[in-house]
């Protein structure tokens, strides 16, 4: 190993003046090397030291053609020490695979690339298009929310990052195979299924999940075949009062002329233009003090032009328990204030308005009603009235009151929550709908609660459940990456004696052998360009290619 005197000799014997910029650079890196020498070094710092000392000292400060014998010997020794110190690390870089290219996946990749200077990060996704719910979940009339795509694109274009679309975990490649190929596997594939109510009539035609409906109007390739019937009814019931429920209500009730200049899918816009739906019910189990939406989303739907808002004033009466909840929750307090204001400011003559939105509280669905005129199709929802019961400080649950009523409708959209699905070999808590984890470390399916699956991590909805906004995933990713770095420092993930992991090269070979058509980020950029080209002729930011065939065709051309 090179002794400190060798570093001192490189600096002191430099042929350049001591006050020159070049020698100042050498002095700074000499101090860095001396500080790192003889103690534990993080790989990111070592990598930085390696680059600055090898690249810059010979090229900028010490000119070999003018160096004397002792200077050349010092440089040689420095290079030899650096080579021995870093060769095992550089030949076995940290291989990281992130499954899922939504906000959780991209934030994880971004934090990993910044935290570890040798990490090679590959992001895989079952879709040929990246960005997850930012693309397929954010409403088309919320373009400002989608600006984060620019940040995620820069991550995908990083020299140590790759996007591999059209790769499905569980069919294209198994979880066990990914773990063989990579030191670290982070599961961030979100929640692509729906919770079930488990009540009679749930399979009747005309009943859809809000997720399916959102995919349909956002041009998700799996959503085009939904074909909701918007013509044969004037009333829709939405079960749930969260942000997704409000998004869906807004799309149904907002004038289509205002949607025409968004990136809404063309097939959805055409259907909405011919829609007969004029009345929408937003139904919740609890009261306005517990409504799960945010003030921003509520304000938007309340501000729709020519829309009559209906709220029972008696529903706005607060109990002491409600007041206690609102004291400790600013978001709920603001939502309640907006709902109260909507009752007093809303015009009483509904005949002046073309469309109507009912906020219905304290109701839980009991069954769906079959249509007599259209057998097999929903004709309404049978509800039980509820009351709230205090079960703890600041917490109330809805229980049945034994009174029932029906709301007639021809379409029902269930916005009762997304659900994650497990893959083979993955521990899963079916009750909570998440992967059991400790700060992102996946816990083994054993009786020992603290045993972790080495090298396997989780982030996003799969980690904490389907809640929060896009920015919530940033903090979630920071926690998971922090756990990865802790395990790395403890030598749990990679060591100098370990054989290198194949990483991306091994994955590409395996997928090639299975005839999987991989979509790279440059391929996605072709899709992106084509969508923008098609949209420009319609005064839209983009015209989404909403089928698998169209997406693959754009790549091939």
Pick 319 or 448 by higher pLDDT: 319
pLDDT per position as a tens digit, 192-240: 999 999 999 999 999 999 999 999 999 999 998 899 999 999 999 999 9
Distance, CA of 73 to CA of 6 (rounded, Å): 9
- pLDDT value of residue 224: 86
* CATH 3.50.50.60, the chain: domain bounds: 196-418
Say if residue 216 carries a ligand binding annotation. Answer: no
Window from 158-162, 171-175, 221-225 with minimum mean pLDDT: 221-225
CATH superfamily for 95-192+422-519 is NAD(P)-binding Rossmann-like Domain (3.40.50.720)
Q: Determine the pLDDT at residue 64.
A: 42
pLDDT above 90 coverage of the chain, percent: 75
Q: How far apart (Å, rounded) are the C-alpha atoms in residues 212 and 419?
A: 13
285 is in an annotated binding site: yes
pLDDT of residue 61: 38
Q: Is 468 within any annotated ligand binding site? A: yes
Q: Is 241 annotated as a binding residue?
A: yes
Mean pLDDT of 363-392: 97
| Distance, CA of 234 to chain centre | 35
- Poorest-confidence range of 45-54, 100-109, 525-534? 45-54
What local confidence, expressed as pLDDT, does residue 62 receive? 39
CA dihedral 72, 73, 78, 79 (to 10 degrees): 70
The superfamily (CATH) of domain 196-418 is FAD/NAD(P)-binding domain (3.50.50.60)
What are the residues facing 96 on neighbouring strands? 121, 184
Is residue 244 a known part of a binding site? yes
Whether residue 104 is annotated as binding a ligand: the answer is yes
Of 7, 106, 91, nearest to 49 by C-alpha is 7
Neighbours of 89 (CB within 10 A): 16
Q: How high is the pLDDT of residue 446?
A: 62
| CATH 3.40.50.720 in the chain, residue ranges | 95-192+422-519
Mean pLDDT of 98-121: 97
Binding residue per annotation — 297? yes
Please report the pLDDT score of residue 41 as a whole number.
44
**Confidence band for 6, pLDDT divided at 50, 70 and 90:** very low
What is the rounded radius of gyration, in angstroms, for the C-alpha atoms of the chain? Answer: 29
Out of 242-251, 358-367, 449-458, which region has the weakest mean confidence (pLDDT)?
449-458
Joined tokens for residue 333: 């307090």
| pLDDT (mean) for 337-350 | 77
**Does the pLDDT value for residue 355 go beyond 70?**
yes
Q: Establish whether 133 is an annotated binding residue.
A: yes
> Does 343 carry a binding-site annotation?
no
The pLDDT of residue 448: 67
Q: Check the annotation: does 265 bind a ligand.
A: no
What residue has token string 């909701």? Answer: 228
Residue 139 labeled ligand binder: no
pLDDT at res. 394: 83
- Interior/surface letters 165-203, b for 16+ CB within 10 angstroms, e for the rest: bbbebbebbebeebbebbbbbbbbbbbbebbebeeebee
**92 versus 432: which is more confidently predicted?**
432
Output the CA–CA distances (angstroms, integers) from residue 30 to 130, 286, 345, 494, 542, in the order listed: 44, 66, 71, 28, 53
Mean pLDDT of the chain: 86
Model confidence at 40, in pLDDT bands (50, 70, 90)?
very low
Maximum alpha-carbon separation in the chain: 100
The pLDDT value given to residue 465: 94
């Amino acid at each position: 190993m090179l002794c400190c005197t060798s570093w001192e000799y490189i600096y002191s014997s430099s042929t350049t003046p001591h006050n020159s910029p070049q020698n100042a650079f050498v002095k700074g890196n000499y101090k860095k090397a001396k500080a790192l020498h003889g103690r534990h070094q993080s790989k990111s710092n070592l990598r930085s030291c390696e680059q600055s000392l090898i690249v810059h000292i010979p090229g900028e400060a010490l000119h070999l053609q003018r160096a004397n014998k002792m200077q050349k010997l010092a440089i040689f020794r420095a290079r030899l020490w650096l080579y021995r110190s870093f060769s095992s690390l550089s030949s076995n870089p940290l291989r990281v695979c992130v499954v899922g290219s939504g906000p959780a996946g991209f934030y994880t990749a971004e934090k990993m690339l910044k935290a570890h200077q040798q990490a090679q990060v590959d992001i895989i996704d079952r879709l040929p298009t990246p960005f997850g719910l930012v693309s397929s979940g954010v409403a088309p009339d919320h373009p400002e929310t989608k600006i984060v795509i620019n940040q995620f694109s820069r991550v995908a274009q990083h020299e140590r990052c790759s996007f591999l679309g059209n790769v499905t975990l569980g069919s294209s490649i198994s979880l066990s195979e990914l773990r063989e190929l990579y030191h670290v596997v982070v599961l961030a594939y979100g929640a692509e299924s729906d919770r079930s109510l488990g009540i009679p009539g749930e399979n009747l035609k005309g009943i859809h999940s809000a997720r399916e409906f959102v995919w349909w109007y956002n041009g998700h390739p799996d959503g085009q075949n939904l074909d909701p019937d918007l013509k044969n009814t004037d009333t829709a019931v939405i079960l749930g009062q969260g942000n997704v429920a409000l998004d869906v209500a807004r799309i149904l009730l907002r004038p289509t002329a205002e949607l025409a200049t968004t990136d809404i899918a063309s097939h959805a816009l055409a259907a909405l233009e011919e829609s007969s739906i004029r009345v929408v019910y937003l139904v919740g189990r609890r009261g306005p003090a517990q409504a799960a939406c945010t003030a921003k989303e509520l304000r938007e739907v309340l501000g729709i032009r020519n829309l009559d808002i209906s709220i029972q004033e008696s529903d706005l009466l607060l109990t002491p328990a409600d007041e206690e909840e609102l004291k400790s929750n600013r978001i709920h307090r603001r939502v309640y204030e907006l709902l109260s204001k909507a009752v007093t400011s809303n015009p009483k003559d509904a005949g002046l308005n073309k469309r109507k939105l009912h906020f219905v509280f304290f109701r839980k669905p009991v069954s769906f009603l079959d249509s007599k005129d259209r057998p097999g199709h929903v004709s309404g929802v049978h509800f039980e009235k509820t009351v709230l019961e205090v079960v703890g400080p600041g917490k109330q649950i809805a229980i049945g009151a034994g009174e029932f009523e029906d709301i007639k409708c021809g379409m029902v959209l269930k916005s009762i929550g997304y659900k994650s699905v497990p893959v083979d070999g993955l521990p899963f808590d079916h009750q909570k709908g998440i992967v059991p984890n400790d700060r992102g470390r996946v816990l083994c399916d054993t009786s020992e609660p603290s045993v972790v699956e080495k090298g396997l991590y989780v982030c996003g909805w799969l980690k904490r459940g389907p809640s929060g906004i896009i920015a919530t995933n940033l903090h979630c990713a920071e926690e998971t990456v922090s756990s990865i770095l802790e395990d790395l420092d403890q030598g749990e993930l990679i060591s100098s004696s370990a054989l290198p992991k194949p990483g991306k090269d091994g994955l590409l070979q395996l997928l090639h052998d299975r005839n999987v058509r991989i979509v790279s980020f440059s391929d996605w950029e072709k899709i992106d360009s084509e969508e923008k080209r098609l949209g420009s002729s319609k005064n839209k930011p983009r015209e989404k290619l909403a089928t698998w065939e169209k997406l693959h065709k754009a790549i091939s051309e």
